Structure 1
């Protein structure tokens, strides 16, 4: 059973990397649909594995993009782990509306707050609309795809224990 969890985690992390190739034009350059597979993974994997898939996917996607924010991508990867972990916990608890509110606020706004202090207030203001738009687009794709995926996978891939 652990091998299935690890295999699915690697699969979702790889899909996050592929999603990283689907770029969203923005002023800061590295916005993509790399979170979609991690959000979908919340239906199939335990929260810790979802967090690792998103973190691994982000680092690989950032490597492909040439690390435009340098070592700050480690901070973003840790934030992604935490956000997707909490999102997955909320999904497991049946908080289906609140998980989306949390994801959009946490990923679209709160995750940028450290960069207000680390980089500059100007970076925060410039990045906020793009990050928020990318977050909403990632959420919209998952909200659209997840019901169909759940019907197809119906009980076959759930590894929550």
Structure 2
């Protein structure tokens, strides 16, 4: 049974709301707005399609930016788009059984690659200052997800609620 579009939207909104809660838990850093907003979106790969998980992650980053005072200004829209893409790819890797690769991709993607445009847009110093806290935040988000994802996957697979949808 495929879940309806309305249920997917509701689940996405709920995951995004939990991402907002995670946005209040900041990871200290010099220049970056790193927080625990990614974990709920990563956990949602157990029951949401890639694009929906990605949207939840993008909204989660915008909440982090909002609660941090938008220190990077309009660049946060770029970061939200990067989070959408990173979570989308993480979801696809998860669904295709590439479990080790998804973790490596997420940590490098969120911790280093997402900051790379700012090497050129702001400065090399900004990039160097941002990467350590982004990598730490990515690892923390990954650990939280690695603990919760198997539990959520088992519950959604064996319960009376069929919320997991295979990608083609």
Question: Which residue matches 1:120?
Answer: 123
TM-score of the superposed pair, with normalisation by structure 1: 0.94
Q: Is the 8 A contact 1:28 1:127 kept in 2?
A: yes
Residue 20 of structure 2 is matched in structure 1 by: 17
**Ranges in structure 1 where 5+ consecutive residues have no aligned partner:** none
Shift of residue 29, structure 1, vs aligned partner? 5.3
- Normalising to structure 2: TM-score of the pair? 0.90
- CA distance in 2 between counterparts of 1:147 and 1:88 reads 14
Q: Distance in 1 between matches of 2:89 and 2:56?
A: 14
Q: Structure 2 CA distance, aligned partners of 1:29 and 1:39?
A: 20
Using the alignment, how far apart are the partners of 2:80 and 2:21 within structure 1? 16
The corresponding residue for 2:102 is 99
Aligned residues of 1:44 and 1:160 also touching (Cα < 8 A): no
CA RMSD of aligned residues (A): 1.4
| 1:135-150 correspondence to structure 2 within 5 Å | 135-150=138-153
**Is the Cα–Cα contact under 8 Å of residues 45 and 160 in structure 1 kept in the other structure?**
no
Structure 2 residue matching 1:42: 3-state secondary structure: helix
The CA deviation string for residues 114-150 of structure 1, in whole angstroms up to 9 with x for no partner, is 0000010001111111111111111011111222222
- Pick which of 145-154 and 30-39 moved more: 145-154
Q: Which residue of 78, 81, 106 corresponds with 1:78?
A: 81
User: Aligned pair 1:46/2:49, yes or no?
Assistant: yes
> Structure with the greater relative contact order (CA < 8 A, sep ≥ 6): 1 or 2?
2
How many residue pairs get matched? 161
Matched with 2:92 is 89
Q: Which runs of 5+ in 2 are unaligned?
A: none
Corresponding position: 1:158 with 2:164:
yes
